[in-house]
């Protein structure tokens, strides 16, 4: 066996393993989870309650679309929730926002905290007339 073929004999499994590991998710990092999971729904309800409590607007906001939901095991569980929200009792041209909330849940302590929130206004789409 030549040196070249011996080198490939050892190098190929190494590179194959490297590609496999490189495409996997980072251990301990956020992973996609089901938005319909009851714990996710509880975290989203909590995030919206806290958002509305801190908002100076006279109207309440509600979730109109769930864009992305991820979870991460920490000392408890972190939910990363990206959603579109809009005012209730909306007018035709009301503003819609995309928000990302991070909720930290420690159920054994009966504790849930909104640790981050970022929202930005989405550009409204012109309405079609029929």
The pLDDT of residue 25 is 60
Is the CB of residue 99 less than 8 Å from the CB of residue 85? Answer: yes
The pLDDT of residue 1 is 57
Q: Domain containing 36 — which CATH number?
A: 3.10.450.10
Domain-located, residue 4: no
Domain-located, residue 56: yes
Give the number of domains in the chain: 1
Domain-located, residue 106: yes
Distance CA 12, CA 4 (A): 12
The pLDDT of residue 22 is 46
| Confidence label for 56 from pLDDT (cuts 50, 70 and 90) | confident
- What pLDDT, in 10s, does the model give residues 3-28? 555 544 554 454 444 444 444 566 78
Domain span at residue 112?
27-121
């Amino acid at each position: 066996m030549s040196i070249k073929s011996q080198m490939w004999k050892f190098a190929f499994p190494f590179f194959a393993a490297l590609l496999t590991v490189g495409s996997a998710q980072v251990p301990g990092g956020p992973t996609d989870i089901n938005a319909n999971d009851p714990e996710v729904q509880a975290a989203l309800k909590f995030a919206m309650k806290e958002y509305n409590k801190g908002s100076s607007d006279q109207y309440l906001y509600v979730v109109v679309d769930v864009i992305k939901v991820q979870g991460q095991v920490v000392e408890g569980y972190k939910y990363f929730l990206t959603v579109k929200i809009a005012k209730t009792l909306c007018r035709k041209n009301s503003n819609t926002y995309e928000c990302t909330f991070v909720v930290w849940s420690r159920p054994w302590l009966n504790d849930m905290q909104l640790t981050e929130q970022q929202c930005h206004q989405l550009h409204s789409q012109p309405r079609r007339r029929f």
